[in-house]
């Protein structure tokens, strides 16, 4: 999936649109994150790029701010 598709999936799981999710995440210390392999969602640090996924066991969790290239 592309970064844009991952952001849309993550925002859908959060119950909002991508822009609202990113605006809110910009000022938080914990932000929405998604596994790029199994699409499991979780929360994590804003600069998370290779976080551990509890669902599939891979180091493939990325934050919404990283996917959007804000960080």
Cα separation, 15 vs 71, whole angstroms: 23
- Quote the tokens at residue 55: 């669902």
What are the domain boundaries of the chain? 3-67
Contact residues for 15 (Cβ-Cβ < 8 A; gap 6+): none
Phi and psi torsions of 3, nearest 5°:
-60, -40
Cα separation, 70 vs 63, whole angstroms: 10
Residue 3: the pLDDT is 97
Residue 66: the pLDDT is 97
Query: What is the per-residue pLDDT across 6-65, written as a single tens digit (0 to 9) for each?
Result: 999 999 999 999 999 999 999 999 999 999 999 999 999 999 999 999 999 999 999 999
pTM: 0.93
């Amino acid at each position: 999936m592309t970064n844009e598709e991952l952001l849309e999936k993550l925002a859908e799981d959060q119950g909002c649109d991508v822009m609202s999710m990113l605006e809110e995440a910009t000022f938080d210390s914990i932000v929405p994150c998604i596994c790029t392999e199994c699409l499991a969602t979780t929360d994590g640090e804003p600069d998370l790029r290779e976080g551990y996924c509890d669902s599939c066991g891979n180091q493939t969790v990325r934050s919404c701010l990283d996917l959007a290239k804000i960080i």
